[in-house]
Structure 1
Amino acid sequence: MGFQYDDDVPVAIRSEVPAPKARTNRLLPWAVGGAIAVVAIGTWAIVQRPTTNPDTAVTPAETETAPSEALLGHRPYADAPAEVLTPLASNPDIRLRSPAAKAFDNLQAAAAREGIRLLPLSGFRSKQDQQALFFDVKAERNQSVTERASVSAPPGYSEHHTGYAIDIGDADQPATHLETTFEQTAAFRWLQANAKRFSFELSFPRNNSQQVSYEPWHWRFVGDVESLRLFYGDRGTPAAQ
């Protein structure tokens, strides 16, 4: 509903109105006050309006698929697709991603030429495989989760899921398999001197930043872009087992 200002009154009638100016003066404070209120409300609305660019805003779905945090020192990894896995020449039951499998076959052959018999012990492991390895062995050994996590990654957090990690033993010293005493073997010394030529590196040296137990048998392939992305992309430090 609007105010009836003097200009809305016909001229003939306006001349007979005794004090039109006084009525206008009474309405003026209300009009000015109303205008100020409108401006104030408008200004408040502008200040309160979100400034996030809708084109760059993170949706709930994107938040749900963001990378998970590390768990007990280990980082999350998805299972490698079956179609990218290749059996090793020396043991078809053990599979790695094709570039890693080829590199290990070459590494193993080079060691053999120098009288070193490298034995692959474990390659790709699915989350389901890791479930039993982590929880069943934990119960069998009466370990706490932190004790178990110091030597084995929880399911979903193992480098073996990627298809780039492999456990290696010395075929001439089976008692050292998956033991720190593997570091005393000729196989380990050969790997230390030569693994980098084939793009393999030790995942967990002594006193590693993730506080995962020293594993001289656990090596990973870092010879293609995908492996680098998984183990080093936006992380800065080596990834988990």
Structure 2
Amino acid sequence: MEPEQVPSAPAPATSRRELRAAADRSGNRASRRAARTSRARSTLTPWALRWGPRTAVLSTLAAATIAFPVVDATTGTDVELGPGTVSASAAAAGLPTAYEVLSSTLPQATPTTLLAAGSGPRAAAEPVSRSLEREPLPGCDGDIRTTAPNGQIPQSDLCSLWDPDHALRGDAAVALSELNLNFRAAFDRDLCLTDSYRPLSVQRRLAVTKPGLAATPGLSNHGWGLAIDLCSSETASADAMAWLRTNGPVFGWENPAWARRGGSGPYEPWHWEYVPGTEAMGTNWS
């Protein structure tokens, strides 16, 4: 009986030609893989290459945060995320809600009365806000205390203005100071005054030196602490006068009709009066 024949393994290629062919086949496979990888990367934008991995991480974190149920601290039930909602664990730890954290980063609005106009005045038509709580004239409560005659009001019954050389009755002084705060925001300076409360002695002197321009002594609204005179720097400024004509009445201050061009009295654009006070007293003199 002949012995069983066992097939032998093919002899390895030993010729140089066969070795080169095998190497070429191996190299071609590697080249094709590299080309496929290169083509895949070439279709990605620089943004995707840079932010793709980061976006994946951020998405995972966001999903973990948003998907985590928000629990009402009082009922223990799931609620939608919104103002005042907080998880039980966050409430126990005294931590703020996500809504509070996010909303706390929003910029706060600035009251219009504090927005300075820079080098130019604020538009005259812009409404003047009086909603901001403030003390326009420190040390003056705005009360009317005097019962003294015209031009004989004691200094203790008057309120000094931002310029200590000028004073008015309490209510008129506070209202004018509020107007001045807004004027300062618009023009970056205080309202300039030449006259305010006028003692009787000064009224008498002006009646002699400026006949026709000064009221009869003892009848002047300056003598009641209810009138002011503006500096020529204000009356010469069209912007300032336009602003005052628009905003002054908001605070009770007006250039009276008799003092305007074509009015019943002399033309005095510098003369302004606190209308609530003059109307209550029934006066109509400068």
TM-score, with length taken from structure 1 = 0.50
Could you say which residue in structure 2 is the equivalent of 1:166?
228
Question: Offset at 1:183?
Answer: 5.5
CA contact (8 A) 2:152 2:200 kept: no
Could you say which residue in structure 2 is the equivalent of 1:196?
249
Could you say which residue in structure 1 is the equivalent of 2:240?
187
Deviations 1:142-190 (A, max 9, x none): xxxxxx22x22232232111101011236xx3xx6xxxxx264322111
Q: Cα gap change, 1:80/1:108 in structure 2, threshold over 3 Å: closer, same or farther? A: farther
Q: Identify the match of residue 114 of structure 1 among 157, 165, 186.
A: 186
CA contact (8 A) 2:229 2:271 kept: yes
Structure 2 gap segments, 5+ residues each? 1-148
* SS of corresponding position for 2:228: strand
Q: Cα gap change, 1:80/1:131 in structure 2, threshold over 3 Å: closer, same or farther? A: closer
Which amino acid counterpart does residue 229 of structure 1 have in structure 2?
Answer: A
Structure 1 gap segments, 5+ residues each? 1-76, 139-147, 177-181, 233-238
Could you say which residue in structure 2 is the equivalent of 1:96?
168
Question: Offset at 1:230?
Answer: 1.7
Question: Offset at 1:80?
Answer: 5.7
Q: Cα gap change, 1:227/1:157 in structure 2, threshold over 3 Å: closer, same or farther? A: closer
CA contact (8 A) 2:248 2:254 kept: yes
Q: Identify the match of residue 204 of structure 2 among 114, 120, 131.
A: 131
Q: Cα gap change, 1:127/1:80 in structure 2, threshold over 3 Å: closer, same or farther? A: closer
TM-score, with length taken from structure 2 = 0.43
Question: Offset at 1:92?
Answer: 1.1
State yes or no: 1:84 paired with 2:157: yes
Question: Offset at 1:126?
Answer: 1.4
Could you say which residue in structure 1 is the equivalent of 2:263?
208
Could you say which residue in structure 2 is the equivalent of 1:73?
none
Could you say which residue in structure 2 is the equivalent of 1:217?
270
Which amino acid counterpart does residue 164 of structure 2 have in structure 1?
Answer: P
Question: Offset at 1:123?
Answer: 0.5
Could you say which residue in structure 2 is the equivalent of 1:229?
280
* SS of corresponding position for 2:192: strand
Taking only aligned residues, the RMSD between alpha carbons, in angstroms, comes to 2.2
Q: Structure 1 residue runs of 4+, over 3 Å off?
A: none
User: In the aligned structure 1, how far is the partner of 2:175 from the partner of 2:253?
Assistant: 8
User: In the aligned structure 1, how far is the partner of 2:186 from the partner of 2:282?
Assistant: 31
Deviations 1:91-147 (A, max 9, x none): 111010011111111111101111264212210001111111221x25xxxxxxxxx
Deviations 1:180-222 (A, max 9, x none): xx2643221111111011101112122223xx21111110112
Could you say which residue in structure 2 is the equivalent of 1:240?
285
* SS of corresponding position for 2:250: helix
User: In the aligned structure 1, how far is the partner of 2:188 from the partner of 2:236?
Assistant: 14
User: In the aligned structure 2, how far is the partner of 1:116 from the partner of 1:189?
Assistant: 16
User: In the aligned structure 1, how far is the partner of 2:269 from the partner of 2:163?
Assistant: 21
Which amino acid counterpart does residue 231 of structure 1 have in structure 2?
Answer: G
User: In the aligned structure 2, how far is the partner of 1:80 from the partner of 1:104?
Assistant: 22
CA contact (8 A) 1:121 1:167 kept: yes
**Which of structures 1 and 2 has the bigger CA Rg?**
2
CA contact (8 A) 2:150 2:218 kept: yes
Which amino acid counterpart does residue 253 of structure 2 have in structure 1?
Answer: F
